[in-house]
């Protein structure tokens, strides 16, 4: 009876290895917490950019503009200028993701990422994010530098449902 539940240590180690391989491999390239990028769209390709939107970031902890309208399917190039004297960033995400990430940033303020949905911009510099808004809805963005989000450094992209006119298609405004 007793030894029915005995597992050989090597067999156990092997089983654990197999169990862990899948999730660990999937987590590569994501932040802790496993952000689902598909909820906010997907990284855009420069060749598919249909519109450029300029955004200014200031030490007043504001984005100008802070609300942007987009159409589902659009690929937008955000040209983001830091006109302040401290580092700022723009991170796209759901509010939940941004808050989670912000908590991490408070613990590790020097944490920097190479992530298509965000850009960190040094004072006086300009950065860019190219994003395809493949999902309709409200997509938030925020500066996750410690203190900045709390101070109101946030904004949103309102993505209207429906097809954006394809690039180079002059008939985009024709509606049935």
Residues that bind Cu ion (CB under 5 A): 88, 143, 145, 148, 153
Q: Cβ 114 to Cu ion, closest distance in Å?
A: 19
Closer residue to Cu ion (CB): 71 or 148: 148
SS (H, E, C) 66-92: CEEEEECCCEEEEEEEECCCCCEEEEE
Residue by residue, DSSP assigns 117-176 as TEEEE-TT-EEEEEEE--S-EEEEEE--STTTTTTT-EEEEEEESSPPPPTT-TTTT---
Closer residue to Cu ion (CB): 88 or 101: 88
Residue nearest to Cu ion (CB): 143
Answer yes or no: are the C-beta atoms of 79 and 170 closer than 8 Å: no
Q: Cβ 46 to Cu ion, closest distance in Å?
A: 25
Closer residue to Cu ion (CB): 72 or 128: 128
Q: Cβ 57 to Cu ion, closest distance in Å?
A: 6
Closer residue to Cu ion (CB): 33 or 109: 109
């Amino acid at each position: 009876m007793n030894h029915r539940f005995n597992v050989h240590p090597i067999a156990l180690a092997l089983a654990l290895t197999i169990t862990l391989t899948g999730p660990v491999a999937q987590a590569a390239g994501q932040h802790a917490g496993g952000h689902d990028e598909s909820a906010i769209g997907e990284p855009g390709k420069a060749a598919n950019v249909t519109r450029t939107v300029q955004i200014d970031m200031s030490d007043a902890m504001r984005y100008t503009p802070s609300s942007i309208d987009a159409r589902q399917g659009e690929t937008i190039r955000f040209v983001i200028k830091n006109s302040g004297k401290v580092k700022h960033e723009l991170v796209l995400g759901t509010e939940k993701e941004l808050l989670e990430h912000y908590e991490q940033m408070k613990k590790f303020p020097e944490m920097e990422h190479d992530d298509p949905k965000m850009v960190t911009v040094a004072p006086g510099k300009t950065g860019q994010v190219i994003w395809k808004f493949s999902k309709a809805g409200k997509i938030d963005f925020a500066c996750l530098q410690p203190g900045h989000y709390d101070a109101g450094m946030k904004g949103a992209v309102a993505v209207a449902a429906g097809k954006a006119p394809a690039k180079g298609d002059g008939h985009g405004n024709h509606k049935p």
